[in-house]
Structure formats: structure tokens, C-alpha cells
Structure 1
């Protein structure tokens, strides 16, 4: 057993063992995205009691389990990755129907978000079986938590998770053009060998603030915010800056940045259509955020006619 986690395993048993862990259920377990200490006590307990650990990469997962002192025989590890997820899901279902507890982990973070796991969970639930989440590390929420991007004062509420954009240049540029019309905070993911290409594509967003979160929770973690037009130059200024995995947060479009054309279109449509229909069409025509347009429509409706 790894000495540094021996007390954590004891704490996991003390804190979580009294809870109910039904048999015949799939436990979707979030694992650290870098720092091994980010594992939860419930995750450690479930990884101890599971009859089998399904995982994206058996070698990677065996190494992680060994770090916690939870080394398992190879027969208790089942590969479930993007290339075999549909087929492997049937193996998981068969074992669940026999009453086994199966934990599923991806290589890092929360399964089923950008990693495999969604099709597995859908198949398990379609078979009338339970999929139970064990929350934990996520690069998406970690990046948002420090970006300072999701606040009502900055424009639209909430955020959009767009994941990895297309790898081909023309398709990537088209995707960014679509994102330019999304006023809400948007989170992207990118690999080190494509981050400069992504930054160059995002340059068309001009002064829109972007937060780059690199190697979150790891030794060389780096988080920086700047205008989209400056991203590529910033990355290329140091070889270290293009290493590691990236979460990229596009800040929401502030109300004062939105084009006056959106309001002009909205006013024309309000004169002829109900509010909801006018807002929907104005958003589709101009690319402005629907929530912002709706709030503005209500303001215009309340305003005196001679204003």
C-alpha cells in the first residue's frame, strides 16, 4: 500500500462504509485530473468494494489504483473505451444482472462528459439497471470556478460546454464563427499539439476575454486571462505554455458589447410579433443571446411610448 494514502483508505471506510451501495449497479466514479489527492472518500471506498473496475485504459487505471494501494488482478479490470463502448456495455450489463457492483472510470476526471461513459450509462439504464454518480474532479467546472466568467453582471447566465472543436482548419474556423454568436460563457477543451491552432482560430473573437487553464491541479498549472486576439502570441512566447492539457473559457459577451443591430431588429419584430416570437427571431437573425434580448424586450414594452 502507498504509505501516503493508507490513512485515506481508512478514512474512506470510516466515512463511507455505513452508506448503502446496491448490488447490480454501475458506479460512475470521477477520478483526479492530475493531483492524486483530489480523489473523494466515496470513490476510494467504491473502488475497494467493486467486483470489477471498467475503465478507459486498463494500464492507466491499474497504475492509479496501485498509487492508492488498491492493486487489482487483471481479470477484475474491463476495458470500456470509445472504440468498443457499445459492445463492452453488454458485458457490463451481463455482470450487473448477476448482481455485481461495477465501478467505471475514465483516464481522468468525470466519465461521460468529454470521455467515454455516456453510451455505457444509456445502455445500462435502458436495461433497467442503475447508474450511480460519484462526483469529483472536472476540468470544465474547475476552469469556470476561477475564470470569473459566469456572473449576471457580465451578460448571459450559465455556460455552454462545447468540448473539442473540429481538427480540420476550415471546420474549426466555422465552429468558432458559430461560437461568436453565443453570448453565454463557453468552455472548450484542447490538446497541446492543437492549442496554437485553436488560439489562431479564436483570434476572430477580437477583444472577447478568454481564460486558458493549463495542467489544472498539476505541478505546472497555469491560468491566464486575456483578449482572444492575444492568445496565439501569448502561447508562442514560451515553449512551456503549449505543454499539457487545456480547458479554454470564452467569457460571456457583455451587454454593452452587443451590436446595436440586434436591438434594431428586435424593435422591428416587436412591432409585428408577440414578445417570445420576436425574441426568438431576433436571436436567430443577429446571433445575440436570447436571454439578453428577452430582458431588453421587456424593458422596451415597459417604456413609455414617447420615450
Structure 2
């Protein structure tokens, strides 16, 4: 939290913290929110946070969320909230929610196993552009969601976002090539949409990428070994969006499906010969 008071910070700055930056349920812990608000000042903080809601039967429902905090808004809690909707199977999404007839099969299991099969996060409502009224609208992505181009394309076309915010927890990759590969895949979301990408990763690569896929800032040099990573920060201006192309606004994923069908047709005609 003390890094929020870095010397070159200015009012109006946007600070982005990664997924898993704060343990526990930050949005339900008023003492933690008060402590962070004291350091935020006149800036805005975007942070990944786990949260829960209570159902009427006193059953908690958990969400993997991205929250926007603003101490000047004179309210407790986030001014905007996005819930991750594309969850990782087994890791986040309960087995009963993606295995066919999962709940029916789970009913046949012992009670303890039933609870295990049903444990996981609840998916959010879907892709959207987060509009706080203070910041330019942005596409919110959490970790795994950055692998799917249709999410950023949909949110960009429908809501006309101006940038992408991706928070991730790459610690589970370990000291292998996983963090670098994940970062490289996320850069394609900027290229596909023409939107600048701001990426904050826990135990991974954080930086800013413009709408052409060019890296304008990274918190650590490319040659830094994963086992040597430590808490750090970077600062830069968010680039302007690149001009949209016909592939982004008109064709989208249709070009890929057309190419696939054309290839299948040519392969079939060649086989018939």
C-alpha cells in the first residue's frame, strides 16, 4: 500500500493493481478500504479483488472481480465493479456448471463431495465497457479472459471503449515461460481492437501496449528472470486508440471462419480428385 505514495504521483493518475494484489475480501473489509483510500488521495485505483454476496438462504456466492476505487467519490466501496464471466474450468468454475448433467451427477455423490463439486466462483453478467463517469470507458479483463479475442471485440464494438485494463495473477505459472507467453497473448487483444492495453500482473509482466501492439512501458526488463521478480511499479501515459480497421469493425471473427471454411472446401475438393 505504501507504494501508492511514490514521489512522482499526481492528482488524476490511474493506479492499476493486479489480480490477487490484496488477500482476503478487500471490498468487504472497511479497515482495508479506509487504509487504501488514505493513500489514493485524488487518484483512482483499479484493482482485482475477490468478493462475495449473500443469497436469501444464507449461502455465499463468490465473484472474481475488478473494482474501481475513488476516495474523492464520498462513498464506501467501489464506484464501478466488473465480475469475471469467463472462468477457468476446475480452477474457478465449479465442475457442476460445465460438465453435462453435472448437478444431476453431483446429487448422487456424498454430501462432502457434492459441496466440492459445486464450489467455485459465480460467472459475471458478460463483457462490457466499464464507465465510471470519471475515466474513459475501458474493457475490463481478468487473467484467463485475455486469451479470448471475442470478449474485447464485443465490448469494444458495443460500448465503444477507449482502452483495455487487464489484471492477472501469473504466480501459478512459476518460473517458466508461462508469464511471458501470457503477456504476449494479451498484446494481441490490443492489436485486434486498436485499443491501448494496460496490464498489471502479480508475479508476471506488467506494462502498457499501444493499439499497434507496441510496448510503451514495462515494469521489468525482458531479461529479468522470474525468480528475481519483486514488487515494483511503472508510470507512463496511456496511448490514444489506433484508428479502427475494417477487420475490427466489419469482419471480426467472420474472416477466420471464412478462411477455415475455404480451407476445408479446398481440402475436400483435393481429396475428391
TM-score normalised to structure 2 length: 0.32
Structure holding more helix per residue: 1
User: Which structure has the bigger radius of gyration?
Assistant: 1
Structure holding more strand per residue: 2
